[in-house]
Structure 1
Amino acid sequence: MRTYNVLLLLLLLFFTSCSSNEINIISTNIPDNSTGQEIKESVILSDFERDGVIIINPNQPQDQHKYLFNIYPNSSKSIGKTELSSSYSVSGDKSLKAIMTSGPLYLQMYNYSQTDYVWHWTRQHIDEGQEWKENTYNRLRFWIKLPEGIERKVTGQPNLHFGTYFRARNGNPSSAESGGGHYHHYFNLESAGGNWQQVIIDFRPTHNRGDNGNIEQGVKQYPTNEQDFNYFDALTRFYIWGDFATNSSAFYFDRFEFYRDENDENIKQICTLTGTYNNINNEFILGWSRDKNEGQLEFEVHYAFDDIHKNGWYSSIPAPGGIVSSWNEDSYNILGYNTSDIDLENHTQIYFAIKPKNSDRFRQIIIPINKKN
């Protein structure tokens, strides 16, 4: 009888290990709208729960013109392809997989219609069954899963660029930026054990094409100077470019979501938020950018297991080593915070707040806690 029980146990362990395969090994399913604050207005651009990558120009032979999400090869000699994958996901069962064979990561959303020869606005491609409301959404969030071997720069420089283009209502539709322009949001990420990382775009870009890199751009809520037509209303195309070696690497993207954060957040001094939990070493990793003119300013990082906006800054706990200074005092303005010293108990998510020392306003990000490998 004892031998029989041992055999049953061994069989159970075998089938359990085989059934998991690769799927969601180091990711977690993120609840819808889990951003650390109540969301009353949101739309999904894409969560990739479909049969294949969306085709925008079916008669085009080149992927860069055929697919809505593709690898842009020209300016940086990036070579690769995109496909949908069921290996990892943030919500649902699939994500977008960018397979790079050479050159840097260069994922683009190419929404130029070669039927009517116009650049669409991004909002025209939100998932079916949703309604876009103008002058409503003030954040764009997406999730990215990086391959191993990517390290953050410790100089305040970026290694990931999110490029945006804008067109005015009365702009020339054959242009992606008529009456608008082209901005960049800069980030600084690391592999983080291959876990999903949250990236939040707001109204404050890091750079404007053609400007000196030292110039602080400030908040660009209405980049086309139309007071009821905001940054995301006017957004036409965008791209994600990575300043790191990518040969034979796979990057995953999921859940591009526009939403409205109704909290009085300090985006003037804190922008381009990122956050993740590395379950390999129990480490939380945060990133953000400061005003380029405030190189000597220190920041305070707090945490809680409830909404800090709702309960107040003083309800939260100072994070271990949570006084953060810039890596340098010039215009390379990205900061970072890491800790492995927070007792998680039985919690499934954590709220981090980042506040400049000279302000009583802060930014908040929620990070899901996934303890499974």
Structure 2
Amino acid sequence: MLNIKEALRKNTMVIALIVVMLLFQVLISISGKGSLFAPSNITNLILQNSYVVILAAGMLLCILTGGNIDLSVGSIVVLVGATAGTMIVNMKLNIFVSIFVCLLIGVIIGAWQGFWIAYIRIPAFIVTLAGMMLWRGLAQVLLNGLTISPFPEDYLQYFTSFLPNSPKYTMIVSVIVGAVVFLVYAVLQILGRIQKKQKGYEVSSLPGLIIKLVLLFAVIAALAFLLGEHKGIPVVLILLGIVVFAYGYFTSKTVPGRHLYAMGGNEKAAKLSGVNTNKVLFFAYTNMGFLSAVAALVCVARFNSAAPSAGTGYELDAIGSCFIGGASAYGGTGTIGGAVVGAIFMGVLNNGMSILGIDANWQKAVKGIVLLAAVVFDVLSKKQQSTKG
């Protein structure tokens, strides 16, 4: 019984996501406005929320360091997007050179903010608030208030195309890719459990692991089928998979990744243990700048334009995804998987309410309530644990 309670506690947001998706499906079906699980809508969900997943992965690293956030990510997105538009569309420069320059600009911006936060110790809120105004101002100057479009097809194919190119093989390829992804994940989970057991670490129960793998198989199989029914696998989904896997591995399996948790748990103790906390904080914000640039490249391809209004509110989507996905407002707690679940949750809320025709203002109100509820849940859980301790 204790294991079941613990499993439910750890997967609260996953269960909430499933409930919300089923609720929207019922409401949309009753209203006669289609289906939340329509193949085309699932593809739209992936494309619409790709930037949120990318930004949430970087934002989580900032939050882990002690509840710090980055308010400038939306402004970095519009500045890097404006740079991409200027170089690729207006100047007609080489696409790969332009992409490299855009990523470099993101890293430089992140390092600039990271320097003030990590080494001068100016609060992250102040530095990134200043960055939010500074980078958007520079983007407006660069764009001169105008939208740059359209981007060449040679650029768009790297972010907006589907695999395979032939409609004849979409289902076969989708099913094969889904099967490979599941098998790789299942093997890694089983090997990880065996290694932990050999080293004497505590492991989850075998039935729990089996149930987890069965549920995951069902989700991947359904997703593969739905994508195969539409246009196939979006290229951007492969990019998201790489980002999630890389940062999931970094935070859970590497020493620098564990330093993020150590710093968020107790910075003074981490420093006394030999962790270079300044370096950890600097890395978190430099990385945030890099992922903001990646998100910018995805966004300009999706909208096929670099607009002055791009990136508005993106920082709130990323922050909300992390907290809804279980990251602690105090730092030291959270996972990349949780941030992804949070991003999907936000995406389903947006998509479901849009299909139902709910007013945009009410949509904001609902998202605000959900975010507050997630943070309240985190705070109350921590108080309960400290009381038991």
Q: TM-score, normalised by structure 2?
A: 0.22
Of Structure 1 and Structure 2, the greater helix share is in: 2
Task: Determine which structure has the larger strand proportion and give its number.
Answer: 1
Greater RCO, 1 or 2 (C-alpha within 8 Å, sep 6+):
2
